Copies of this chain bind each other. A is one copy, B any other.
Amino acid sequence: MTNWEECLTEAGCRITASRRAVAQVLLDISAPISPQELFELGTLIHPKLGLVTVYRTLALLESLGLVRRIHRDDGCHAYLSSSPGHRHALVCRRCGQAVEFRGGDDLETLARRVEATTGFQVDDHLLQLAGLCPGCQDR
């Protein structure tokens, strides 16, 4: 979501201080973050920020594909800034740092195999990997 301002403008939405705060937090911390946490960090940037606006902004960004909703171990609702296109998240179990990667052929192969086995027609998938990032592997 590098050029989120452009995306919002194209969608006919306004660039406001609240939205800037939310976007900045999402970009600064490249880890999945809950609405509550985002609110707390966002308040440091824009003290008037309200939790309600965080929810609304996340919904907006998600509908534009700028943010992805993902699973976190301690619950369900965390958001991660994302690039457009179909990517997947890889989250570090220890520090929460996250990166994105593209699916590739392996996933296609797997989908075709499952189609053959089950008779289903597979047309969407949700994939999330977890592990240790380079910095966290030594400890």
Q: A129-B125, A130-B125 are in contact. Are A90 and B118 (CB under 8 A)?
A: yes
User: Quick check: A120 and B99 within 8 Å, CB to CB?
Assistant: yes
User: Quick check: B101 and A118 within 8 Å, CB to CB?
Assistant: yes
Which A residues, 98 to 124, have Cβ-Cβ distances below 8 Å to chain B?
99, 101, 103-104, 106-107, 109-111, 113-115, 117-124
In the complex formed, the residue of B with least CB distance to A103 is: B110
Q: How many residues of A contact B (CB 8 A)?
A: 37
CA distance in complex: A107, B111 (Å): 10
Q: How far is the CB of A30 from chain B (nearest CB, A)?
A: 13
CA distance in complex: A104, B118 (Å): 14
CA distance in complex: A79, B130 (Å): 21
Interface mask (A62-87 → B, CB under 8 Å = 1, otherwise 0): 00000000010000110000000000
With a cutoff of 8 Å between Cβ atoms, the chain B residues found around residue A129 in the complex are 111, 114, 120, 122, 124-126
A26 contacts chain B at the CB level, 8 A cutoff? no
Q: Hey, which bits of chain A sit against chain B, CB under 8 A?
A: 71, 76-77, 90, 92-93, 99, 101, 103-104, 106-107, 109-111, 113-115, 117-134, 137
8 residue pairs from A and B, CB less than 8 Å apart: A93-B124, A99-B120, A101-B118, A120-B131, A120-B132, A120-B133, A121-B132, A125-B130
